[in-house]
């Protein structure tokens, strides 16, 4: 491949886990599920990385914040 030629990158759209699986319930007590959406530093992962839809991302952040206030999840990793 020549230096000036570039490849076209194709990206797959990520699918919201909560829309895909209706059995997943967002609850502040389900810390195992909520930890999947936190970075190692304790920050909430953005939508473009997790693939959640806008509606579920908003619900996810409120549930994570509830769990942090009750000390089920850490504020800092």
pLDDT in tens, 24-75: 999 999 999 999 999 999 999 999 999 999 999 999 999 999 999 999 999 9
pLDDT at 20 over 90: yes
Query: pLDDT tens digit string along 61-75?
Result: 999 999 999 999 999
Q: What is the C-alpha separation between 25 and 42, in angstroms, rounded?
A: 21
What is the per-residue pLDDT for 17? 92
pLDDT at 13 over 70: yes
β-strand partners of 38: 44
Q: Where are the domains of the chain?
A: 20-69
In sequence order, what are the residues at sequence separation of 6 or more whose Cβ sits closer than 8 angstroms to the Cβ of residue 62? none
pLDDT at 7 over 90: no
Q: Which fold has domain 20-69?
A: 30s Ribosomal Protein S18 (4.10.640)
């Amino acid at each position: 491949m020549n230096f000036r030629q570039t490849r076209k990158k194709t990206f797959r759209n990520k699918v919201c886990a909560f829309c895909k699986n209706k059995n997943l319930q967002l609850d502040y007590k389900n810390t195992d599920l909520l930890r999947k959406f936190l970075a190692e530093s304790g920050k909430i992962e953005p939508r473009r990385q997790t693939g959640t839809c806008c509606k579920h991302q908003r619900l996810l952040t409120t549930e994570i914040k509830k769990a942090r206030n009750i000390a089920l999840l850490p504020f800092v990793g």
